[in-house]
């Protein structure tokens, strides 16, 4: 007999960035963060979890049809935590099949490029954890599951919710209070839109995991960011979301992205995630806001050159239209100054939140 359950998890894009770990083993962050979860139909991971006594003894994981190593500490931590929860309900109910003892077979598919700075690990681990939780019929809330997904990849804990999500850093050493909570559902601010500019679908240079480790070890600016800048941005961002105040939301989003990339530059040796196209995208957004006389568009960049531009639906023509127009122009310009491959990869799509 094969037991099986499927789920999807969406990508989330942080507007207050997670960067730095106080405990790299448990993925406990040095600061809290906030993200917007993007619509599942556009960017998501679909995962099926199955278990059976007829499967080969060891757990297996297939991502986009490629076999992945499941022996890594992060995947193992998720499997272990979920098996533990299942075995406790099995212990309480002798009629339940002993699924916790069976090997797992996980099959995942992304509908976007993996590891291109498009938060693939976030959707990936969130889907993995939820699929196994469904398979095991665990009575766990998204916040409880966020504690497990966090151990797979920090940002994954935020992808267990839709809409606007905060990851509270917590203070406990065992990580039991480092959890994701909903700030507001997507329906609270239905006019929010995001434009993704895929500047390069290449695998990124420095992974976020190792990048943030080097930052913590070498950047002094980082201290100030974690202690002063982020707490201020957290409070401002949660208020902006509650009040649906796009100007405030946009300004904090852009300052956050800039603060994070400044800390990357202050890391030694420096980490560069933004390229010339990313910088051109920043200038396009600044022009749009200048012409509008207020903030109607906000850029943000994660650990890669791709831009995400937040805007409200009513401004679709001015924002998405102008950015796409500028991209056409960039295309020619870019192929002269930047590698042709990146120019070829240039792509944009609008997604609803
Ligand atoms: C820049 O969650 O990928 O996207 O916990 O090591 O897996 P690990 O890191 P990861 O880092 C994401 C960093 C970021 C900002 C963010 O999503 O908050």
- As a whole number of angstroms, the distance between CA 171 and CA 26 comes to 13
CA dist 289 and 118 (Å) reads: 25
Contact 300 CB / ligand 1 (< 6 Å)? no
Q: How far is the CA of 207 from the centre of ligand 1 (A)?
A: 9
The mean pLDDT of 199-220, rounded to a whole number, is 87
What distance in angstroms lies between residue 213's CA and the mean position of ligand 1's atoms?
11
CA of residue 155 to ligand 1 center, whole Å: 5
Q: Is the CB of 204 under 6 A from ligand 1?
A: no
Q: In whole angstroms, what is the distance from residue 304 CA to residue 274 CA?
A: 6
Distance 273 CA to ligand 1 centre (A): 13
Ligand 1 contacts CB of residue 7 (under 6 A)? no
Is the pLDDT assigned to residue 332 strictly greater than 80? no
Q: Decide: 259 in ligand 1 pocket, CB within 6 A.
A: no
From 23, 120, 154, 271, give the residue whose CB has the most ligand 1 atoms within 8 Å, as the site to mutate.
154
C-alpha distance across the termini of the chain, in Å: 39
Q: Whose CA is nearest to atom 5 of ligand 1?
A: 154
- H or E, element range at 3: strand 3-10
**What atom in ligand 1 is closest to the CA of residue 74?**
7
Q: DSSP 3-state assignment of 35?
A: strand
Contact 36, 13 (CB under 8 A): yes
Q: Which atom of ligand 1 is nearest to the CA of 209?
A: 6
Closest residue by CA, ligand 1 atom 11: 208
User: Which residue has tokens 């990869």?
Assistant: 345
**Helix boundaries (H) for the chain:** 73-92, 120-135, 142-152, 208-218, 220-224, 230-242, 246-266, 276-292, 316, 322-337, 340-345
- Res 138 pLDDT > 80: yes
Q: What letter does residue 52 receive in the DSSP assignment?
A: -
Hey, what are 33's tokens? 């963060």
The pLDDT tens digits for 34-76 are 999 988 777 889 999 999 999 999 999 999 999 999 999 999 9
pLDDT of residue 155 exceeding 60: yes
For residues 225 and 259, the answer to whether their CB atoms sit within 8 Å is yes
Q: Does 178 sit in the ligand 1 pocket, CB within 6 Å?
A: no
Nearest ligand 1 atom to the CA of 302 is 1
Check pLDDT > 60 for residue 348.
Answer: no
Could you tell me the pTM of the whole model? Answer: 0.91
Mean pLDDT confidence for 102-110: 96
Q: Provide ipTM, 2 decimals.
A: 0.99
Q: Do residues 131 and 5 lie in contact, with contact meaning Cβ atoms separated by under 8 Å?
A: yes
Tokens of 346: 């240039």
At 196, is the pLDDT very low, low, confident or very high (cuts 50, 70, 90)? confident
Mean pLDDT for 98-115 is 87
Q: Which is the closest atom of ligand 1 to the Cα of 152?
A: 7
DSSP label at 107?
A: E
- Rounded distance between C-alpha atoms, residue 279 and residue 73, angstroms: 36
Residue nearest to atom 14 of ligand 1 (CA): 302
| CA pair distance 279, 168, nearest whole angstrom | 31
CB of 209 closer than 6 angstroms to any ligand 1 atom: yes
Whether residue 208 is predicted with pLDDT greater than 50 in this model: the reply is yes
The answer to whether 131 and 156 are in contact (CB under 8 A) is: no
155 ligand 1 Cβ < 6 A:
yes
What ligand 1 atom has the least distance to the C-alpha of 167? 18
Residue 9 near residue 126, CB atoms below 8 Å: yes
208 CA to centre of ligand 1 in angstroms: 6
Among 345, 307, 334, 300, residue whose Cα is nearest residue 323: 307
């Amino acid at each position: 007999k094969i037991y099986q359950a499927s789920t999807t998890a969406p990508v989330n894009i942080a507007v207050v960035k997670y960067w730095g770990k106080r405990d790299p083993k448990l993925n406990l962050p040095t600061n809290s963060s906030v993200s917007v979860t993007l619509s599942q139909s556009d960017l998501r991971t679909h995962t099926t979890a199955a278990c059976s006594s007829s499967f080969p003894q060891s757990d297996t994981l297939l991502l986009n049809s490629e076999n992945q190593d499941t022996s890594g500490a992060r995947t193992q931590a998720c499997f272990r935590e979920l098996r533990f929860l299942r075995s406790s309900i099995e212990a309480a109910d002798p009629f339940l099949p002993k699924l916790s003892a069976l090997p797992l077979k996980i099959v995942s598919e992304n509908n976007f490029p993996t590891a291109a700075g498009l938060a693939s690990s976030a959707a990936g681990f969130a889907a993995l954890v939820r699929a196994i939780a469904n398979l095991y019929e665990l009575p766990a809330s998204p916040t409880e599951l966020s504690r497990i997904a966090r151990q797979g990849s920090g940002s994954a804990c935020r992808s267990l919710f839709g809409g606007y999500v905060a990851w509270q850093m917590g203070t406990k050493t065992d990580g039991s209070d480092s959890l994701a909570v909903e700030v507001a559902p997507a329906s609270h601010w239905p006019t929010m839109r995001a434009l993704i500019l895929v500047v390069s679908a290449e695998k990124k240079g420095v992974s976020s995991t190792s990048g943030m480790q080097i930052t913590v070890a070498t950047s002094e600016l980082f201290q100030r960011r974690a202690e002063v800048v982020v707490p201020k941005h957290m409070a401002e961002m949660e208020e902006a979301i509650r009040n649906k105040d796009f100007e405030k939301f946009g300004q904090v989003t852009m300052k956050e992205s800039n603060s994070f990339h400044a800390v990357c530059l202050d890391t030694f040796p420096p980490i560069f995630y933004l390229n010339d196209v990313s910088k051109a995208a920043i200038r396009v957004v600044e022009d749009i806001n200048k012409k509008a006389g207020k903030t109607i568009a906000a850029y943000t960049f994660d650990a890669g050159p791709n831009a995400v531009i937040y805007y409200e639906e009513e401004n679709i023509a001015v924002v998405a239209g102008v950015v796409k127009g500028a991209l056409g122009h960039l295309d020619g310009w870019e192929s002269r100054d930047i590698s042709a491959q990146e120019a070829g990869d240039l792509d944009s799509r609008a997604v609803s939140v």
